[in-house]
């Protein structure tokens, strides 16, 4: 007996991955040059679950992608600890 097509019956494995991943772009006023961006990148990538960190020193913004066990709170805390607190928490 054949019923609905599989793609309609199941959300698919990709959805599970997609749901876990989060991304945020934040302003970091203390970031002044590429060196600052490199420091931020290096520190955040030490946190388990942080997937990528892309800093733009001209815009003073960083785009961060992460998944569990990393959390935004943990990332924001790490930024504050190294002297680059995000302008939004």
- For the chain, the straight-line distance linking the first and the last C-alpha, in angstroms and rounded, comes to 53
Q: Is 32 a residue that touches Cu ion (CB under 5 A)?
A: yes
The rounded distance, in Å, linking the Cα atoms of 86 and 16 is: 29
Q: Is 42 a residue that touches Cu ion (CB under 5 A)?
A: no
Q: Are 56 and 32 in contact (CB under 8 A)?
A: no
Q: Which is nearer to Cu ion, 32 or 63 (CB)?
A: 32
Give least dist CB 57 to Cu ion, A. 7
Q: Which is nearer to Cu ion, 40 or 64 (CB)?
A: 40
Q: Is 89 a residue that touches Cu ion (CB under 5 A)?
A: no
Q: Which positions ≥6 away from 48 have C-beta within 8 Å?
A: 69, 70
Q: Is 28 a residue that touches Cu ion (CB under 5 A)?
A: no
**Interface residues toward Cu ion, by CB under 5 A:** 32-33, 35-36
């Amino acid at each position: 007996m054949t019923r609905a097509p599989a793609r309609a019956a199941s959300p698919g494995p990709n959805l599970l991955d997609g749901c876990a991943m989060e991304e945020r772009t934040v302003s970091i006023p203390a970031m002044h040059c590429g060196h600052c961006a490199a420091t931020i990148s290096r520190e955040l990538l030490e946190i388990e679950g942080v997937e990528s960190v892309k800093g733009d020193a001209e815009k003073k913004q960083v785009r961060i992608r992460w998944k569990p066990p990393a959390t935004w709170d943990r990332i924001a805390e790490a930024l504050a600890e190294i002297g680059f607190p995000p302008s939004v928490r």
